[in-house]
Chains A and B, each alone.
Chain A
């Protein structure tokens, strides 16, 4: 069966510090991968998506970046965090184009102080 994991689960970072969140999917190949952000009590904002290794599309201009160094690995990074980067970050995968299923990792709660 397929599983998705992301880490760390919780982190508190000072403004201006770097960020790295990692996500891996197991049990499938060539998944579509996504990073979403959710502010408290709000909906999900798509940040990045990837349909293959090295293929990254950005939806929101910001100080975040994403990389997909391996088929089932997706990394969210920042060189310098802003206060507004605080939120709940969710990695997700989808099996293909013509499916409506999106499967989420456990989430990473980031607080920038």
Chain B
């Protein structure tokens, strides 16, 4: 089967740096994706790591270690608008064309 684990909640202040971790157990693995979802909205794609290492996109960075079945999303210079839920997802080739999502991490950014 497939399972992903994330912390349920994270709180930080404006301007700070926060890291959201994701560990996964899947029978196969193409890569790890991250999505942001604001309350009442649909998830939006943030980043994708297929290979080990760090990918940087503006204030957001994502890291993957395939040997450790672990990744994280790093958010720098936090802003109030970053308050949202963040989901990691794995695309498992042994699971058809499907994306398996983690339970999500609720990030609250305080002034």
Residues of chain A at the chain B interface (Cβ within 8 Å): 32, 34, 36, 42-44, 46, 49, 51, 57, 59, 90, 94, 97-107
Contacts and interface: CB of A to CB of B under 8 A. Distances in A.
A32 B97 contact: yes
Interface of B: 30-33, 35, 41-45, 48-50, 87, 89, 91, 93, 96-104
Contacts of A34: 98-99
State the main secondary structure of chain B at its contact with A: strand
B104 A43 contact: yes
A50 to B, nearest CB: 9
Contacts, number: 60
19 contacts: A32-B97, A36-B101, A42-B103, A42-B104, A43-B102, A43-B103, A43-B104, A44-B87, A46-B98, A59-B98, A90-B43, A98-B50, A100-B30, A100-B32, A102-B33, A102-B35, A104-B42, A107-B41, A107-B42
B45 A44 contact: no
Nearest to A96: B97
Given A42-B103, A43-B87, A100-B32, A106 B42 contact: yes
Contact of B33 (A42, A43, A100, A104): A100
A100 B97 contact: no
Contacts of A99: 48
